[in-house]
C-alpha cells in the first residue's frame, strides 16, 4: 500500500500522469471503491488489498474520466486483460494509459506498454476463481431442464438496471442494442422475455471478447450469476475458435475475425 | 404515537389467519438465497428473521417494475383497445421498516398530486402497512438525517416494536390500523407504558435534510462538487431501482404482429437516454448533471413541490451501488460544502 | 383527464394528411366518439401524447386553433420510432391522443397589444395554434407580425397558410430561408431569423414577442429582442423536453423544480431566466 502511494505521488509530481485511478476505503470494511487521485495529497487515500476487485479499466471509456488527462490505472488481473482487449478492439492506443500492477508482495510494477502487460499476464495463473469453478461445475452437471430452470430463475430477478453493462469494460458501445428502438430488438420491460433477451444478447456480444473479470456479477444488485453466463459463452467461443481474449494484442478475436476453416458444426 | 397495545409474537399466526380469512393478502420479508424480499406469506414462520433491509423495496407492492396498461388488437385501419387496470388486492404489508413505510408518503404524493394515477392509487388505498421498528442498522442507514428514525411511526398503520423476545409493542396509528385490530381484538392486549426506545437501533444523524434543502439550489451551479462526487458513478439504474421512493417511469409499446401491449416500467435518471431528445440534444448529457438531478429531485424539488422528501434514508441505493456511491456520505459532504 | 384512466388515449381518426415539407406532415384528427369531441376543450399552447398502437407515444403540441372545433391537428417530423410509424398512417386510420396537457399562451392578457411571432423550422406548429387563435379574434389585437424562417424553401411548413397570411392586409409576414437555402423562384428573405428580426426592427412598445425555434435560433434571437427593447416578461417561448406521461409523474421533463409538462410548455423569458439552463 505504501509502495503504491509512493509511486502514485511520484507519477503525479513528475507530471507523468494527471490522475491515478485506484482504490480507496469504502463504506464498510468489506468494500473498497474507485478513487481518482489528482494530487500528491490525495495519494494518501489510495489502498490496495483483497477488497479491491472492481475492474477500473471501465473508467477509461468514460468521457468525464478521459477529460482528466493521462491516467495511471491500478489494475487487478481482469483490468490488465481488459487493456489487452481494448488494444485488440482499437479502443486504446499503446502508451496512453500507464498500467500499475501490485504484486502479492505489495510491489508496484509499472506496465507502460501493451507488450509489458502481455508479458506480465503470461506469468499469471489463468482460469476462474475456485468459487466460480465450483458453481459452474454444479450448473454444468445439471440435466438440461434443471439448468434451464436455474437460469430462468436467475434471470427472472433481473430489474434491467443495466449495472452489468455499466460495470463491464467491454460494454462500451456508444449506443447499446437494447437502446435501439427501430426496431425494438430487445423488449424494454424487465419481464421474463425481456430479461432473457437482454442477458443472452449481452452474453453473445461478449462471446470471445469477455475477459472474465467478473465485474458484471459484482455489480448486479440482484446477485445474478452473469459472470458464469458470460463465461459459458466465452468457453464455447474458445472451444470453437481458439480465442482466449485478454492475453494478447493479436487482432483475431472471434467476433470480428473470419477464417475459411472456421468450424460450423454448432450451426444446426 | 397512537394507541398502544401489546401483541404477543406467538399470536401472529392467529392474526395472519384472521387477516387472510378476511380476504387480505399478506406480503412480508422472506429469505430467498442470500437476499430478503417481500413475498406473499400465509404464516409468520415464513418471515425472514435477521436482516437489515430487503433488497427490493416495499414500493413494488404498489408500483411494480413493469405493468401492462393497455392491450390492443390491430384490425386493418382500426384497432381494439382494452384498458387493463389491475385489480387492487386488499394487502397487508407486514414487517415494513419505518424508512420503507415513510416512502409511501412520497409515492402517494407523486402518484396523486394534480391527477390520480389509475394504477398506483387504488393499490395505495387497499394497502395496510404493519411496520416493524429497526433494532439494528448499518453504515448505509441514515433515516435520522431525513426526518425519520428506527422507531418512526410515519407511514405505518400499525407499528410493531419487538420490545423483548416474546412480544411487540403495537402502536395503532390510523383507521386502517384499527381495522386490523378489529379483526382480532383479543390479540391486542392493553399496554402498560412499555417504552420502545431501549431496543431501537442507534442511527447517528449525518446531516439535516430540511436545512440542506434550502442550501441545495445555491450548490446547483458548483459543477466541480457534482463532478467530483459522481466521477466513480458508472451510470446504471441500480440506485433508482432499489430506492423505495424513486418513481420515474417509461411508457413503451410491445408489438406483436397483430397486436400488442402498452406498458410502463421503471426508468432511471442516471441513464443518458432518460432525457435524450429525438434531435440528439440532451439537457442532462453528463453523468455529473444526472447525479445532480438525482440529489436535487429528492432533496430540493420534491420537498418544494410536493412537500415530501424524496429520500427516507434506507440506504438501499448505496448498498446496491456497484461503485459504493454512499448517499448519506455524499449528502453529509454537501451539507459541509460552503456555498 | 381523458377518461377515468388518464393514460388511456382518445381514439382519433385521421381525417386529413398534408405533406408540409420533406419528412414533415400534418394530420387532422377527429374524435371517433362524437361525445368526446363535444366535451373536448383546449387552449393555445397545450400539447398531448399522440400514439400509434404497437409503437408508442410521442409528444407534440396541438397545432390547430381552439377556435376551430371538432378536430385537432398535429404537425410532426419523422424522427424516431413513433413518428416513423405515424408517418406510415393514412387517412381513415385510428391513432391515439391523450391531452390536452400543460399551460397556455395567455392570449386574453394580450388584448390590445401588438403581437410579434418569431419562428424557425418545425417550431411553427406550436405558434400556428396561437396565430390562428388570435387571427380568429382579430379585433382584440393591434398589429400582428410574423417572422418565419427555415433552412431551405422546401423546409418551410404550412406553405398555403403562409401564402394566406402574406395576402392578408391585417398581417405582416416575413418569410426567410438560411443563406444557400433559396431557390431561383424564392421571393422571400434570405438570412437567419435573428438577422431578419434585426432588419425588420419591430417596436417593442406595447408588443408581445412569441419565439419558437431550435435552441440556436432562440439563443441568438433573445439578444436581438433585448436590443430592440423587449423586456423578459414580454417574450414568450415554449420548452420541448422529452416526456412520457405528460402529467407530472414520469420524472424526466423537469428543468430545476419546474415540470415542463405541468408548468410549461409556455414560459416567459423572465421565467426561464430563473431556471437552471438544463433544457
Helices (H) and strands (E) in chain A, counts: 10, 5
Domain limit, last residue, from C69, C101, C133:
C101
> Residue B116 gets which letter from DSSP?
-
Size of interface A-B (CB pairs under 8 A): 106
pLDDT score, position B1? 65
Q: How confident is the model at residue B68 (pLDDT cuts 50, 70, 90)?
A: very high
Residue C253 lies in a domain: no
Nearest to C122 by CA among C48, C215, C185: C215
| In-domain check, residue C137 | yes
What are the DSSP calls for A143-211, one per residue? -HHHHHHHHHHHHHT-----HHHHH-TT---SS-GGG-BTTB-S-SS-SHHHHHHHHHHHHHHHTTT--
Under the banding of pLDDT at 50, 70 and 90, the label for residue A268 is low
Of C44, C79, C101, which residue is a domain's last? C101
User: Residue A82 CA to chain centroid, in angstroms?
Assistant: 6
Chain B: residues touching A (Cβ < 8 Å): 33-35, 55-56, 65-66, 138-140, 227, 230-232, 234-238, 240-242, 250, 252, 254-255, 263, 265-266, 268, 271, 273, 286-288, 318, 320, 322-324, 326, 329
Q: Chain-centre distance of CA A129, in angstroms?
A: 15
Percent of chain A as helix, strand, coil, to the nearest 5:
45, 10, 45
pLDDT at B20 over 90: yes
> Do C57 and C124 sit in the same domain of this protein?
no
> C233 and C125 share a domain?
yes
3 state DSSP class of A48: coil
> What's the first-to-final CA gap in chain B, in angstroms?
38
Share of chain C above pLDDT 90, in %: 95
- Please provide residue C210's backbone torsions phi and psi, each rounded to the nearest 5 degrees: -120, 120
Domain shared by C223 and C119, yes or no: yes
Domain count, chain C: 2
* Stretch 236-255 of chain C: residues touching chain B, C-beta under 8 Å: 240-242, 244-245, 247-255
Using pLDDT thresholds of 50, 70 and 90, give the confidence band for residue C2. very low
Contact B236 A54 (CB under 8 A): no
Q: How confident is the model at residue C121 (pLDDT cuts 50, 70, 90)?
A: very high
pLDDT tens digits for range B286-296: 999 999 999 99
Q: Which residues pair with A25 in a beta bridge?
A: A32
Lookup result for grid cell 430463475: A153
Question: Can you give the residue range of the structural domain that contains C57?
Answer: 10-101
Measure CB to CB from residue C7 to each of B69, B277, B281 and give the nearest one.
Answer: B69
CA distance B308 to B17: 35
Question: Given this model, what pLDDT does residue C4 score?
Answer: 76
- Tell me if B191 sits within 8 A of B160, measured CB to CB: no
Q: What is the pLDDT of residues C175-191, one digit of tens each?
A: 999 999 999 999 999 99
Which helix H or strand E contains A109, and what residues bound it? strand A108-111
- Residues in chain B with CB shorter than 8 Å from the CB of A179 are 273
Please identify, among C43, C77, C101, the residue that sits at the C-terminal boundary of a domain. Answer: C101
Residue C86's pLDDT is: 96
**CA–CA distance, C189 with C176 (Å, rounded to integer):** 4
Minimum distance, in Å, between the CA of residue A17 and any CA atom of chain B = 17
Residue B242: pLDDT band (50, 70, 90) is very high
By three-state DSSP, how is residue C230 classified? coil
Share of chain B above pLDDT 70, in %: 100
Bridge partners, C29 (sequence order)? C14, C72
Domain boundary assignment for chain A = 2-122, 130-241
Q: How far is CA B198 from the centre of its chain?
A: 26
Grid cell 433515516 in the structure block, residue: B143
Grid cell 387496470 is found at: B85
ipTM metric: 0.93
Claim to verify: residue C135 and residue C233 sit in the same structural domain: yes
Give yes or no: residues C93 and C142 share one domain: no
Question: Which residues, other chains included, contact B230 with Cβ-Cβ below 8 Å and sequence gap of 6+?
Answer: A64, B287, B288, B290, B291, B292, B325
C-alpha cell at A245: 481474449
Return the closest-CA partner of residue B170 out of B157, B160, B185: B160
Q: Cβ separation of A189 and B263 shorter than 8 Å?
A: yes
pLDDT at A267 > cutoff 90 = no
The position carrying cell 437567419 is: C192
Whether B329 contacts chain C with CB within 8 A = no
Phi, psi of A192 (to 5 degrees): -55, -45
Q: Please give the Cα distance from B101 to C119 (Å, whole number).
A: 50
The dihedral built from the CA positions of residue B196, B200, B204 and B207, taken in this order, carries a sign that is: negative
C-alpha cell at C271: 421565467
> A174 — phi, psi (to 5°)?
-70, -30
Angstrom distance (rounded) from CA A210 to CA B299: 40
pTM: predicted TM-score of the whole model, two decimal places? 0.94
The candidate with the shortest Cα–Cα distance to C63, out of C94, C18, C8, is: C18
DSSP 3-state of C98: strand
∠ at Cα B238 (B301, A199), nearest 5°? 140
C108 found inside a domain:
no
pLDDT tens across A91-124, in order?
999 999 999 999 988 899 999 999 999 999 999 9
What does the alpha-carbon distance between residue C148 and residue C163 come to, in Å, rounded to a whole number? 12
pLDDT band at A238 (very low <50, low <70, confident <90, very high): confident
In order of A31, A188, A239, B233, B318, the CA distances from B325 in angstroms are: 11, 26, 39, 7, 6
Let me know whether C229 and C126 are in one domain.
yes
> How far from C262 is each of B110, B119, C186, CA to CA, in Å?
13, 20, 41
Phi, psi dihedrals of residue B206, rounded to the nearest 5°: -105, -30
**pLDDT above 70: residue A233:** yes
Q: Which of B81, B247, B284 sits opposite C53 (nearest CB)?
A: B81
Spatial separation of the C-alpha atoms in residues A229 and A232, rounded to whole Å: 5
Instruction: Give the separation between CA C278 and CA C254, rounded to whole angstroms.
Output: 9
Amino acid at each position: 500500500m505504501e509502495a503504491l502511494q509512493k509511486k502514485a505521488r511520484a507519477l503525479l509530481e513528475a507530471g507523468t500522469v494527471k490522475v491515478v485511478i485506484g482504490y480507496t476505503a469504502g463504506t464498510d470494511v468489506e468494500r473498497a471503491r474507485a478513487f481518482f487521485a489528482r494530487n500528491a495529497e490525495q495519494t494518501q487515500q489510495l489502498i490496495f488489498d483483497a477488497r479491491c476487485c472492481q475492474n477500473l479499466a471501465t473508467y477509461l471509456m468514460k468521457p468525464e474520466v478521459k477529460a482528466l488527462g493521462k491516467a495511471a490505472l491500478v489494475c487487478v488481473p481482469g483490468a490488465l486483460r481488459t487493456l489487452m482487449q481494448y488494444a485488440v478492439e482499437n479502443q486504446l492506443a499503446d502508451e496512453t494509459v500507464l498500467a500499475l500492477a501490485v504484486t502479492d508482495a505489495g510491489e508496484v510494477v509499472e506496465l507502460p506498454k501493451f507488450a509489458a502487460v502481455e508479458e506480465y499476464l503470461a506469468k499469471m495463473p489463468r482460469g476462474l476463481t475456485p468459487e466460480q469453478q465450483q458453481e459452474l461445475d454444479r450448473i454444468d452437471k445439471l440435466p438440461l431442464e434443471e439448468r434451464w430452470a436455474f437460469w430462468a430463475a436467475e434471470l427472472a430477478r433481473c430489474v434491467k438496471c443495466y449495472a452489468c453493462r455499466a460495470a463491464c469494460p467491454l460494454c462500451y458501445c456508444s449506443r447499446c442494442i437494447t437502446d435501439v428502438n427501430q426496431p425494438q430488438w430487445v423488449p424494454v420491460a424487465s419481464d421474463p422475455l425481456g430479461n432473457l433477451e437482454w442477458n443472452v444478447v449481452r452474453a453473445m456480444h461478449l462471446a470471445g471478447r469477455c475477459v472474465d473479470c467478473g465485474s458484471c456479477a459484482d455489480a448486479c444488485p440482484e446477485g445474478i450469476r452473469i459472470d458464469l453466463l458470460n463465461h459459458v459463452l466465452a468457453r464455447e467461443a474458445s472451444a470453437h475458435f481458439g480465442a482466449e481474449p485478454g492475453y494478447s494484442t493479436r487482432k483475431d478475436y472471434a467476433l470480428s475475425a473470419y477464417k475459411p476453416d472456421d468450424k460450423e458444426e454448432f450451426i444446426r | 404515537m397512537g394507541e398502544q397495545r401489546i401483541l404477543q409474537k406467538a399470536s401472529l399466526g392467529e392474526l395472519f389467519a384472521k387477516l387472510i380469512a378476511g380476504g387480505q393478502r399478506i406480503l412480508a420479508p422472506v429469505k430467498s438465497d442470500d437476499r430478503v424480499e417481500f413475498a406473499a406469506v400465509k404464516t409468520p414462520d415464513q418471515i425472514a428473521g435477521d436482516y437489515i433491509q430487503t433488497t427490493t423495496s416495499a414500493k413494488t407492492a404498489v408500483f411494480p417494475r413493469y405493468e401492462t396498461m393497455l392491450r390492443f388488437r390491430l384490425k386493418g385501419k382500426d384497432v381494439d383497445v382494452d384498458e387493463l387496470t389491475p385489480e387492487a388486492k386488499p394487502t397487508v404489508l407486514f414487517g415494513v421498516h419505518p424508512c420503507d413505510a415513510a416512502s409511501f408518503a412520497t409515492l402517494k404524493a407523486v402518484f396523486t398530486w394534480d391527477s390520480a394515477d389509475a394504477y398506483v392509487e387504488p393499490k395505495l388505498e387497499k394497502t395496510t402497512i404493519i411496520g416493524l421498528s429497526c433494532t439494528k442498522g448499518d453504515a448505509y442507514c441514515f433515516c435520522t438525517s431525513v426526518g425519520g428514525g428506527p422507531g418512526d411511526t410515519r407511514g405505518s398503520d400499525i407499528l410493531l416494536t419487538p420490545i423483548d423476545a416474546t412480544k411487540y409493542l403495537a402502536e395503532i396509528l390510523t383507521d386502517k390500523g384499527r381495522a386490523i385490530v378489529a379483526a382480532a381484538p383479543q390479540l391486542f392486549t392493553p399496554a402498560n407504558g412499555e417504552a420502545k426506545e431501549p431496543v431501537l437501533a442507534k442511527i447517528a444523524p449525518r446531516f439535516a435534510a430540511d436545512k440542506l434543502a434550502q442550501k441545495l439550489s445555491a450548490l446547483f451551479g458548483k459543477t466541480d462538487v457534482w463532478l467530483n462526487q459522481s466521477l466513480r458513478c458508472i451510470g446504471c439504474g441500480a440506485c433508482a431501482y432499489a430506492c423505495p421512493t424513486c418513481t420515474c417511469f417509461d411508457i413503451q409499446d410491445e408489438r406483436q404482429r397483430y397486436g400488442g401491449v402498452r406498458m410502463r416500467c421503471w426508468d432511471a435518471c442516471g441513464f443518458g437516454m432518460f432525457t435524450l431528445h429525438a434531435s440528439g440534444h440532451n439537457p442532462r448529457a453528463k453523468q455529473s448533471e444526472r447525479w445532480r438531478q438525482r440529489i436535487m429531485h429528492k432533496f430540493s424539488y420534491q420537498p418544494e413541490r410536493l412537500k415530501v422528501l424524496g429520500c427516507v434514508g434506507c440506504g438501499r441505493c448505496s448498498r446496491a451501488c456497484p461503485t459504493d456511491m454512499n448517499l448519506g456520505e455524499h449528502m453529509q459532504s454537501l451539507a459541509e460544502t460552503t456555498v | 383527464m381523458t377518461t377515468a384512466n388518464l393514460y388511456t388515449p382518445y381514439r382519433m381518426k385521421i381525417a386529413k394528411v398534408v405533406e408540409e415539407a420533406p419528412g414533415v406532415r400534418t394530420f387532422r384528427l377527429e374524435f371517433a366518439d362524437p361525445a368526446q369531441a363535444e366535451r373536448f376543450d383546449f387552449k393555445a399552447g397545450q400539447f398531448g401524447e399522440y400514439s400509434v398502437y404497437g409503437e408508442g407515444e410521442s409528444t407534440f403540441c396541438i397545432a390547430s386553433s381552439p377556435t376551430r372545433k371538432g378536430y385537432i391537428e398535429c404537425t410532426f417530423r419523422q424522427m424516431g420510432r413513433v413518428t416513423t410509424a405515424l408517418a406510415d398512417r393514412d387517412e381513415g386510420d385510428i391513432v391515439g391522443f391523450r391531452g390536452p396537457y400543460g399551460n397556455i399562451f395567455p392570449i386574453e392578457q394580450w388584448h390590445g397589444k401588438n403581437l410579434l411571432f418569431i419562428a424557425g423550422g418545425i417550431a411553427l406548429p406550436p405558434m400556428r395554434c396561437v396565430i390562428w387563435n388570435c387571427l380568429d379574434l382579430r379585433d382584440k389585437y393591434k398589429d400582428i407580425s410574423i417572422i418565419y424562417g427555415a433552412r431551405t424553401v422546401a423546409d418551410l411548413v404550412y406553405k398555403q397558410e403562409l401564402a394566406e397570411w402574406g395576402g392578408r392586409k391585417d398581417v405582416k409576414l416575413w418569410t426567410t430561408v438560411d443563406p444557400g437555402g433559396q431557390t431561383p423562384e424564392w421571393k422571400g428573405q434570405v438570412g437567419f431569423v435573428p438577422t431578419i428580426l434585426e432588419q425588420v426592427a419591430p417596436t417593442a412598445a406595447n408588443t408581445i414577442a412569441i419565439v419558437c425555434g431550435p435552441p440556436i435560433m432562440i439563443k441568438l434571437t433573445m439578444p436581438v429582442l433585448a436590443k430592440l427593447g423587449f423586456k423578459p416578461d414580454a417574450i414568450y417561448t415554449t420548452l420541448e423536453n422529452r416526456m412520457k406521461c405528460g402529467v407530472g409523474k414520469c420524472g424526466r421533463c423537469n428543468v430545476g423544480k419546474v415540470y415542463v409538462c405541468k408548468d410549461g410548455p409556455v414560459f416567459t423569458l423572465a421565467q426561464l431566466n430563473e431556471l437552471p439552463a438544463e433544457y
